[in-house]
Amino acid sequence: MSLTVGFLYPGYSAEDEYPTMERLLADSGRATRLPVVHTLMREDAHRIDALLDIGGPEVLADGARELRSMGVDAAVWACTSGSFVFGWDGAEAQVAGVREAAGVPASSTSFAFVNAVKHLGLRRVAIAATYPQDVADSFAEFLGKAGIDVVSLSCRGIITAAEVGALGREDVLDFVAANDHPDAEAVLVPDTALHTVAWLEDLEQRLGKPVLTANQVSVWEGLRLVGDTAPRPGLGALFAA
């Protein structure tokens, strides 16, 4: 039986990561549908006030009800910064709202990062963030609440998702590699606006350690919610574990 994991995605930047992941999953022999509902983004800005609006309860409820009408088996709010800026308790309330409106198990990209790190048995991570400093600091604080030690935090300072989504393969590989740390067991790349999933194997070969990226962990989290934890090749250490 084919399962369907639905994603709430703010605006338009790297939403093509989800059909790419759908094809890669099908190539591994376990097809899963990954439909995307675009949620309202009144302002494209990695700025705290704009992110609080992007992840607001009414915005997410509208999208979650659309996912419910599609008959999805699980729902994921696919926005890292639009979840962790609410803090741990706020992000939990956010997920609860999506769960209620969609009528299925739900999560968000921020919790997906936490669960992915724990799934791999890791504790110390480096963060290669496209965000401005204050937004990246909020992500590090969120991870700290889960007992994850951030040994290095680097910021690219990009304001808009549109600019992030335009970054190409070499730029992404160079940015992530430049912001690794010898004490880090993995590098986290927290922005669903960033294209990465076609280059997961390249990233891990370059760094010699797990690299967890936002759209990758979002899909993995959705599969976890529906009980599909079968190992899959070609999608990084997270999916191979």
- Measured N-to-C along each axis, helices 57-70 and 87-102 cross at an angle, to the nearest 10 degrees, of 40
Those residues whose C-beta lies under 8 Å from the C-beta of residue 215, and which sit 6 or more positions away, are: 14, 17, 18, 21, 78, 192, 194, 196, 197
Of 118, 120, 114, 59, nearest to 92 by C-alpha is: 114
CATH number at residue 25: 3.40.50.12500
What is the rounded distance in angstroms from the CA atom of residue 173 to the CA atom of residue 122? 22
Q: What angle do CA 171, 28, 190 make, to 5 degrees?
A: 35
Query: 3-state class of 11 per DSSP?
Result: coil
Domain that holds residue 142: 3-240
pTM for the whole thing?
Answer: 0.96
What is the rounded distance in angstroms from the CA atom of residue 74 to the CA atom of residue 28? 21
Q: How far is CA 78 from CA 88, 171, 204, 205, in A?
A: 16, 23, 22, 26
The pLDDT of residue 90 is 97
Task: Give the number of domains in the chain.
Answer: 1
What is the rounded distance in angstroms from the CA atom of residue 51 to the CA atom of residue 171? 25
The pLDDT of residue 1 is 61
Of 67, 14, 68, 12, nearest to 41 by C-alpha is: 12
The pLDDT of residue 203 is 97
User: What string of pLDDT tens digits covers the 241 residues of the chain?
Assistant: 679 999 999 999 999 999 999 999 987 767 789 999 999 999 999 999 999 999 999 999 999 999 999 999 999 999 999 999 999 999 999 999 999 999 999 999 999 999 999 999 999 999 999 999 999 999 999 999 999 999 999 999 999 999 999 999 999 999 999 999 999 999 999 999 999 999 999 999 999 999 999 999 999 999 999 999 889 888 999 999 8
Of 8, 6, 10, 7, nearest to 165 by C-alpha is: 10
DSSP 8-state class, residue 40: P
Of 73, 72, 97, nearest to 83 by C-alpha is: 97
The pLDDT of residue 137 is 97
The pLDDT of residue 77 is 98
The pLDDT of residue 26 is 87
